[in-house]
Structure 1
Amino acid sequence: MPYNLGYTKYLENLRQYKADTEHKKVYAWFDNSEKNPASRAQHITSLPDSIDIVGVMYPSELATFEKEEIVTLQQKGTKVVYTISYDEIKAQYEDLISTQTELENESTFNTFLKKEIEKQLTYSEPFDGIIIKYIGQNPKYMNEEDKAIYTETQNIFLNAIFTWKSQNSNKILSFEGKPQNLVDKNILNNFLHIIIDAFQVSNETELNLSILECLEADVPTDRFIIAVSSPSSDGTEGFWGTTEAIIESAYWTTAESNIYTKAGIAINNVQYDYYRTNGTYHTVRETINIMNPAPVK
């Protein structure tokens, strides 16, 4: 009984910390493709409790154990989300038209886009929210005709998202990608965070540049999250030279900027760290502690 009471208090404190305490936020994307897990590495409940938002990479067909584990994370105050990517939908369409002379009932990309995003929005019920990913192209380099076409397509994507959000006001919505490529950048005020991909970055200078490139008029500067990869065991991902990208990015978030707010980091393929550190997620925990050090008593 004392253990249960202690754990209940721990959960209460954890939820309060995540909801009320000012701290650098941590997103983590998790590869949940394995539906018959053989090890703890394939369970989101093995992730460190202090992660704020977990994004699953395969949201469409959740196994029973995954639905149960989502509830377990929610009891810890962790938000569980998934991503809807405009550019992936576009690539999917282009794949289809390259192999078929005519798509049944999908004569245009806009029609296909509308149908696909509506399908992906139906996955949202067990989740706490959605990240929308949009790379696109910068409209300031377009002529008026191309910009009008681009705007129409972008609005189909965004209007579907905001309609969903209006019906799910209790759920979170974050943006990932290139905010400078949105026609109406004022809509970014509706997103919890703006996640900037820095997977190809190899040093702090490039990291700073990846943010500065986004700072066009009307892009909010108070909610930037930088996205980097967890270091892989074979050394092909998640390193700046010989140092881990998530560690270096964590230190970067602690250096104040008078231009924009460094709100936290997002860790891609977080499960890599399970294998590298014998199941302890040691590098991820170190990353979190750099940004949000435990108070000294």
Structure 2
Amino acid sequence: MKIYRNSFKGIMIAAFSMLALSACSDWTETESIDLGQPDITNQNPELYAKYLQNLREYKKSDHTLVYVWFDNSQKVPFNRSHHITDLPDSIDVVSMIHPDNLTDWELKEINQVRSEKAMKVIYTIDFESIKAAYNAKLELATEEEPVAEEFLDFLTDSLEYSLSLVKKYNYDGICIGYAGKARIHMRPAELKEYTENETAFINIMNDWHKRNSEKIITYEGKPQNLINPALLNDCMSILVSGKESTNENDLTYKMLLANVENIPHDRFGMTVMATDLNDPNKKIGYFADGSLAMAGLANWAPSPHGGVTVKAVGIYNVSTDYYTSVRNYSYTRQLISSVNPSVK
């Protein structure tokens, strides 16, 4: 790692010297290794190729992983925020919020970021969303626990479709979304249905993973609520959901809740929401004091919490961060720099 960093530092210095006259402001920003801008691609292809080679080596190194969830709902792009190729290069994993109906240009960009920048491209399969869809179909209360015997066919069909997308679009893997609920106050009947529903979901995911062991799996939610957390042993990251947190202390609280026996402690991470451009009240992606959750995560993540070292961070709906006034993806870059500081 030391040899790689020294060589990469040399490339940074050489590249800066060659392009200083072009006054490219992006080169003066402090993000770990995000130098892959169009100007260097055109002005010095050999230097850019060397940069990408070092970038790919960096992705193999021991560092804090950076996840983003990308809104790819716009199929006719009209600005650069719709392109995953414009995401900061240092991002490790991109999760597509709309994993099906990918266009040719989306597939081309997925292949590009995978081959050039060693980004992994995945998508989330969320149990709570499947359960909510079932309840909506039957006009049940959103939080009602479905009767397992009746719910199983719906769950199986939903997972069969969702998991088929991995092969259809050659995704690198999946994120398993599962929040669950605390079981301590459940009545026996509810606990029975809850246990059977979770067991069915986890067993299907386990079976798929055994048959597709070359694909990565990661987890996002509330791991402490899993009845059987054995699946987490194979997850690349265990991401605790801080998307509804109102301050940094709440991030710590959620991390401590997840830090229980039988859950691997060496791969914990935290996710927060980016802002929503259609949120006039500034509630989504903000803490209670009006500060940005992304900025709070950048400040919170570098330090251990309750003896847990944060090994991954995540931003949901990252594309809205493209529109910052200082620089595109400014807060995402600040988060990357905070957890993987630049070489001095």
Structure 1 length-normalised TM: 0.90
Greater alpha carbon shift after TM alignment, 116-125 vs 279-288: 279-288
1:279 CA displacement: 6.1
Cα distance between partner residues in 2 of 1:197 and 1:54: 17
Which residue type is aligned with residue 282 of structure 1? S
1:58 paired residue number: 98
List alignment gaps of at least 5 residues for structure 2.
1-41, 141-147
Aligned to 1:6: 47
**Structure with the higher strand share, 1 or 2:** 1
Structure 2 residue 119 is the aligned partner of structure 1 residue 78: yes
Separation in structure 1 between the aligned mates of residue 137 and residue 276 of structure 2, nearest angstrom: 32
* Cα shift at 1:278: 6.7
The change in CA–CA distance for 1:202 and 1:107 in structure 2 (over 3 A counts) is closer
Are 1:131 and 1:173, in contact at CA under 8 Å, matched by a contact in 2? yes
Which residue of the other structure, out of 207, 220, 236, is the alignment partner of 1:176? 220
Q: Deviations 1:165-214 (Å, cap 9, x if unpaired)?
A: 12222211011111121111233212111111112212221111111122
Instruction: Determine helix, strand or coil for the equivalent of 2:318.
Output: coil
Which amino acid is 1:66 matched to?
A: E
Matches within 5 A, 1:175-214: 175-214=219-258
Q: Which residue of 304, 317, 331 corresponds with 1:269? A: 317
CA distance in 1, matches of 2:124, 2:156: 16
**How far 1:77 moved relative to its partner?**
0.7
Q: Aligned partner of 1:271: which letter?
A: S
Counterpart Cα distance in 2 of 1:202 and 1:119 = 35
Match of 2:152 in 1: 110
- Cα deviation for residue 120 of structure 1 reads 0.4
Q: How far apart in 1 are the matches of 2:272 and 2:132? A: 23
Q: Distance in 2 between matches of 1:143 and 1:260?
A: 33
Q: Percent identity?
A: 35
| Aligned residue pairs, count | 289
TM-score by length of 2: 0.78
Quote the residue 2:332 is aligned against. Answer: 284
CA distance in 2, matches of 1:231, 1:94: 29
Checking the alignment, whether the CA contact within 8 Å between 1:232 and 1:276 is kept in structure 2 is no
2:127 is the counterpart of 1:90: no
| Aligned amino acid, residue 86 of structure 1 | F
**Deviation (angstroms), 1:258:** 5.4
Structure 2 residue corresponding to 1:137, chosen from 158, 171, 181: 181
The one-letter code matched in structure 2 to 1:192 is M
Structure 1: unaligned runs, 5 residues or longer: 100-105
- Determine helix, strand or coil for the equivalent of 2:240: strand
Q: What is the aligned-residue RMSD (CA, Å)?
A: 2.1
**Counterpart selection for 2:284 from 237, 249, 270:** 237
Task: Write out the 4+ residue segments of structure 1 that deviate beyond 6 Å after TM superposition.
Answer: none
